[in-house]
Amino acid sequence: MSKLSKLVKMGGRVFAGALLCGSMMFGTVSAEEAPAIDGMEALREAITMTTNQDRRVFHQDLLFFAPSLRADLDLIGQTMAHKLRIAGKISLTAIDDQANTTDLAIPFYIDQQKKEMTFYFKPDKKWYKFQTPTLAASAIDELATPDEQEADEILSTVKAVTVLRETDTQRTMLVQLDPEKLADLVAQYSQKYPADNGTANDGDLQKSVMGCLEAGIRRSNIWYTWTIDKVSRRTVTMSYNLSSLLQETARVGLETHPELPNGVAQMLETIAYYSDLKTYTTFLNPKAVQKLDLPEEAKEAVSVDDLTPADVKTADKEPAAK
């Protein structure tokens, strides 16, 4: 497998993990009202209070932009007890050196129940799937409302909180994260959830990628806005600006790996200086959204080891899993 393919393979796992954590964090909020409240107190209140709803539904849009590539991920997800279902589409537009444009749309579906998680995706005419128990385990952790100790851990990664807007029914906060403490938690997470056999078993590469990510976080300016409904105890919207994190991680990769092939180095240079990454999440009324069911044709999906084209090509030589 080439260096670029390995990076794509690892990047897919990092992206999937980030998607899950970003989608599910802070699904519950407080119902208490206050004319004025300290920023950190407001954040703790929002993190620790539970909701009476058994099912939460969210819509998420993640947009990546660089001069030669645009990627838009659009999805709807549902959380129910220890279950998670997500249905969405990744739209890609790439421009090569001759100004030729390639458009690609990849529908996908995620089904997680307790310790089992399966990713389904359709890069062309056929559905494929791969399983990742590591992400399933982390998803279970994210679905649970944090206890006091876990809330303290979350708050330890926050540098400052500003309450931007406060009404009788809603509160909007600007949360600035502490990059050093957040990087320490990422390192702990990486140790707690090692690679799954068959999905990311390139140990040296994983160590290198996670090392770049950790160092990139330490150099980043990461913040998000969060609007909560104080009556229904639900998140209304969340918006993350991840551009600094993406750029700094790419710069670390360039600085620490001068031996990278030209194609990989050029890709990282573009990301390091000319890219943009933002995500916007809206939590919906569960009664207004139908349950997400796996498409019938996806039930005949071919099993693969990971997300790379090489894995798909290999799987095509084998019969579909029934």
Encode pLDDT of 254-280 as tens digits.
999 998 898 889 989 999 999 999 999
pLDDT beyond 70 at 200: no
Higher pLDDT, 196 or 235: 235
Residue 56 burial by Cβ neighbours in a 10 Å radius (0-12, 13-18, 19+): buried
Query: What pLDDT is recorded for position 237?
Result: 93
Percent above pLDDT 70 for the chain: 72
Percent above pLDDT 90 for the chain: 38
pLDDT beyond 50 at 289: yes
Higher pLDDT, 208 or 249: 249
Query: What is the pTM (predicted TM-score) of this model?
Result: 0.75
pLDDT beyond 90 at 139: no
Q: Three-state SS for 213?
A: helix
Query: What pLDDT is recorded for position 298?
Result: 92
Residue 144 phi/psi, 5° resolution?
-80, 145
The whole-angstrom separation of Cα 248 and Cα 71 is: 19
pLDDT beyond 90 at 180: yes
pLDDT beyond 90 at 145: no
- Determine contact, residues 67/52, Cβ cutoff 8 Å: no
Query: What pLDDT is recorded for position 319?
Result: 54
Residue range 18-68, pLDDT digits in tens: 455 444 444 444 334 444 568 888 888 888 766 556 678 889 999 999 998
Q: What residues have CB less than 8 Å from 320, skipping those under 6 apart? A: 300, 301, 302
Residue 65 burial by Cβ neighbours in a 10 Å radius (0-12, 13-18, 19+): middle
Query: What pLDDT is recorded for position 189?
Result: 74
Lowest mean pLDDT among 6-15, 66-75, 243-252: 6-15
Residue range 152-166, pLDDT digits in tens: 888 888 999 999 999
Query: What pLDDT is recorded for position 8?
Result: 42
